[in-house]
Amino acid sequence: MTTLFVAMSQELRVWDMLAGGRLLARVSQHHKTITCLHLASDGKRLVTGGLDRHAKIYDVQSYQVVHTLDFPSPVLSLGITPDDFTVVAGMANGLISMQHRQTPAEARALNPKQTLKEQKESQTAYRFRLNADFRNVNRTFNPATDIEVATKNENNFVSRYDMFLRKFQYSKALDTVLSRYIRKKKPAITIGVMHELIRRNGLKSALAGRDDSSLSVILTFLARNINDPSHSNIVIQVANTLLEVYENSCLTPQSEKLFLQLQEHVNREVEYMKHLMEIEGMLHILLASTNAQTRRGPVNIGQGPPVKVMLPSAAAAANATVVYNVG
């Protein structure tokens, strides 16, 4: 039997192609759009990933879900090794999640006294961030610099802010990612939480009611990252929201100074953009003149076919009047 699996929005449809395209099943287990499909276990299992941050594993005979994998971000692509022990998922936050399943024999060999629950919790899970610049596709890939591996401490850290987000404790979630190490070494995590707060309409509540110390941390972080093109969009939204929240508040001199520093960074960025626009206009003029010369073609003096000169006829020469200017 030749079976066709098609993902249509949140629904998985199965057709039998040899039976004239007869619809065999319609399965709807995802809460959001299905983005990828993958066959596993020699075609006995079908894995689907979706924007609901889940991967569903189906039995292709009964089309029932036999297992579900959870991911920290919407799943865009999936890959499974031939032995079905490693699942790789590309996620919307720019990370790659790798989940490895140990066999019971491997788990017992590593730690014979470990319980089944502890074995499950100790299964290896990796997350990778691609740092490569895809605008230069001819550049040689260097795993040492282009792959950033999340450490065990960061995994524990991620679970903390994720726990606060699930409990709708937005201020605590933002405080967690504004710690000194994360905001300086891993600013992308802080930006990601800010983006999630914007998506949930919880940014105002997370920024409101802060003292001078925590407000200074936020303003310093915004001033440091507002010039980063990869973060500027989110940082500008956070800065605008911060101004809305504290526009009628009495600020301390330290907070006012930090707001002025943020304004200086914004003004400097505006000047940079003006200079870039001027350079862009100059380049347009140069490219336009170059294209015009290319269309006309090069002028080669003394080369090419002889130039034909039109001479007057005999009648025109006889009737011609010659005027001499005597100085």
Asked if 177 and 98 sit in the same domain, the reply is no
Domain of residue 268 covers: 151-279
Residues 62 and 125 in one domain: yes
What whole-number distance in Å separates Cα of residue 97 and Cα of residue 88? 6
Computed over every residue of the chain, the mean pLDDT equals 77
Predicted pLDDT of residue 325 = 47
Domain-located, residue 303: no
Q: What is the mean pLDDT of residues 133-151?
A: 47
pLDDT, tens digit, for every residue of 104-119?
666 566 555 555 555 5
102 against 206, higher pLDDT: 206
**Which stretches within 1-123 are classed as H helix?**
104-110, 116-121
Kindly state whether residue 21 falls inside one of the protein's structural domains.
Answer: yes
User: 214-252 as b/e, with b when 16 or more CB fall inside 10 Å?
Assistant: ebbbbbebbbbbbeeeebeebbeebbebbeebbeeeeee
Residue 48 pLDDT greater than 90, yes or no: yes
62 domain residue, yes or no: yes
Per residue in 150-185, pLDDT (tens digit) is 544 444 555 688 888 888 888 999 999 998 888 888
Q: Do 189 and 62 lie in a common domain?
A: no
Mark whether 92 and 50 lie in a shared domain. Answer: yes
Identify whether residues 101 and 155 lie together within a single domain: no
In a domain, 75, yes or no: yes
Name the most confidently modeled range: 194-203, 286-295, 299-308.
Answer: 194-203
pLDDT value at residue 154: 47
Q: Does the pTM of the predicted model rise above 0.85?
A: no
Residue 87 has pLDDT above 60, yes or no: yes
Q: State the average pLDDT over residues 188-215.
A: 88
206, part of any domain: yes
pLDDT at 105: 66
Residues 159 and 102 placed together within one structural domain of the fold = no
